[in-house]
């Protein structure tokens, strides 16, 4: 049971990192207009939070694109 939990957490984190890379590159300015022109330092600071909260941000990103 513990191995399944660790595997699930690892998968969640891996998907979060992949999503965060894409979101920092393209999606952040679509969700938050204040992020327009934000530098690399800002994007690196928010990267861990994006990776952790990727399901919420994915749903918002999809809503904005619709």
By the 10 Å C-beta count (0-12 exposed, 13-18 middle, 19+ buried), 65 is classed as: exposed
Q: Taking the domains of the chain in order of start, what are their residue ranges?
A: 2-65
**Predicted model pTM:** 0.88
DSSP character at residue 35: G
Q: Angle at Cα 18 formed by Cα 50 and Cα 33, nearest 5°?
A: 40
The answer to whether residues 64 and 33 touch, using CB atoms and an 8 Å cutoff, is no
pLDDT in tens, 21-58: 999 999 998 998 888 888 899 999 999 999 999 999 99
The whole-number pLDDT of residue 23 equals 95
Question: Residue 35: what pLDDT?
Answer: 87
């Amino acid at each position: 049971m513990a191995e399944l939990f660790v595997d699930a957490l690892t998968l969640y984190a891996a998907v979060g990192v992949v999503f965060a890379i894409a979101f920092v590159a393209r999606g952040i300015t679509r969700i938050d207009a204040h992020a327009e022109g934000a530098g690399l330092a800002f994007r690196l600071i928010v990267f861990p939070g994006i990776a952790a909260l990727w399901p919420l941000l994915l749903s918002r990103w999809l809503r904005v694109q619709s």
